[in-house]
Amino acid sequence: MSQQQQQDTTTTTSTTVDEQQQQEDEQLVTPWEVSSKGGIDYNKLIDKFGSTKIEPALIERFERVTGKRAHHFLRRGIFFSHRDLVEILDAYEAGKPFYLYTGRGPSSGSLHFGHLVPFIFTKYLQDVFNVPLVIQMTNDEKYLWKDITLDEALQFTINNVKDIIALGFDIEKTFIFSNVEYIGHLYPNVIKIGKHVTLNQIKGIFGFGDSDACGKFAFPPVQAAPAFADSFPHIFSPTDPATKSIRCLIPCAIDQDPYFRMTRDIAPRLGYPKPSLIHSKFFPALQGHNTKMSASDANSAVYLSDTPQQVKDKVTKHAFSGGRDTKEEQEKYGANLEVDVSYEYLNYFLEDDELLKDIGEKYASGKLLTSQVKQRLVEIMVEINRRHQEARAKVTDDIVKAFMTVRKLNF
């Protein structure tokens, strides 16, 4: 058994929510809850989950194989961890097919800036590799976990799909599907996966208890199934024996990893390659690393539907500052960039490396005030929202239907 196989098996069978909570300072990371008293320690998370840190050498190879500059999310360590990304680069270099799979759980009417991160990066990967992409809308999951009706989950799905399409995905290579509607196509693989995962494993991986709805226990195989190419017979030929060997690359936040540790554990038993993953860090709430973005607190996040005034108010009033209390202290001591939310948001959305470095050096040395850094961030976020809202206004119901229609893709 390889080291990676041992890691997959170990984390699948033994990583439980109870173990994560054994010590008060232990960080808790599940697909539904992320908490830590001192901010997330990503190196510790890599060790716990058994993934692999993305080192400079792997980024260099990515650029060498693709002939493209690595996305700034990759260069800046925002996507920081992976499982078998090397195998994807090997496949691309050898001319072997693979596809991308990511998803969105629709629980509100608009995406916020944190939701943008995996989709921006996924679009970059689709453009670089020129491969098909499937996007799973887990409205079933959100209905099971959130206090919303199924009708609300379905309406959120359409609104979120419009936001996703507005990011510029290629309709010729992109299939977006609603679990509630596509489940019949997924079901053969869902039941194959379900046969090989025990109730004890589901409890151990996800921390479910006897009082949880049985639908929650049944959901993980639904999220796992799109990682196998023959879940999409309209895209990959069901009669071609090579279809089962097509690899899948999943860009996602690290909290989604438990689903795919389970998937990787059972894939060889079902005759599939293990899906590869590339993990992003968590996008912090405006109030800082020790808080969580929440749909019930509109001021915890900037939404793509926000007006320029709302963006300005949220950033200026609520973005946690690493700057000093007074102008004199700031000029003397400078800001703590490690905790400053505005600077971290710039790290995500200011693409100019030199300008970001200049802002960071001046802010840390006291040559820039918090208000100046926040103003720069407001300008960037307002512009992103302006472009997005213009693009989204052009996404008609017919365009949504076209992206979500079961069909062949051009690739």
pLDDT tens per residue, range 106-117? 999 999 999 999
Determine contact, residues 303/111, Cβ cutoff 8 Å.
yes
C-alpha angle 294/296/302, rounded to 5°? 55
SS3 category, 253: strand
Mean pLDDT of 74-88: 98
Sign of CA dihedral 151, 153, 154, 159: positive
365-392 pLDDT tens trace? 999 999 999 999 999 999 999 999 999 9
**Please, which contacts does 290-297 make with residues 24 or more away whose CB atoms are closer than 8 Å?**
290/36, 290/37, 290/38, 290/39, 292/34, 292/35, 293/112, 293/114, 295/107, 295/108
Residue 349's nearest CA partner among 288, 294, 292, 283 is 283
pLDDT of residue 5 exceeding 80, the answer is no
pTM of the predicted protein model: 0.92
Determine contact, residues 156/106, Cβ cutoff 8 Å.
yes
SS3 category, 406: coil
pLDDT for position 32: 84
H-helix or E-strand spanning residue 201: helix 199-206
pLDDT of residue 19 exceeding 80, the answer is no
116-166 pLDDT tens trace? 999 999 999 999 999 999 999 999 999 999 999 999 999 999 999 999 999
Crossing angle for the helix pair 341-349 and 113-129, nearest 10 degrees? 20
Q: How would residue 339 be classed by pLDDT, with cut points 50, 70 and 90?
A: very high
Q: Which two tokens stand for residue 160?
A: 């979120």
239-290 pLDDT tens trace? 999 999 999 999 999 999 999 999 999 999 999 999 999 999 999 999 988 6
Share of the chain above pLDDT 70, in %: 92
pLDDT for position 13: 44
Q: Tell me the CB-side half-sphere exposure of residue 285, using CA atoms within 13 A.
A: 18
What the chain holds in terms of domains, given with CATH numbers, is 3-283 (3.40.50.620), 298-393 (1.10.240.10)
Determine contact, residues 193/263, Cβ cutoff 8 Å.
yes
Residue type, 152: E
Q: Which residues contact 193 (CB under 8 A, 6 or more apart)?
A: 221, 224, 225, 263, 266, 270
C-alpha angle 335/341/346, rounded to 5°? 95
SS3 category, 374: helix
* CA max distance for the chain: 72
Higher pLDDT, 295 or 231: 231
Q: Rounded to whole angstroms, how far apart are CA atoms 300 and 121?
A: 23
- Ranges 8-12, 98-102, 281-285, 391-395: which has the least confidence: 8-12
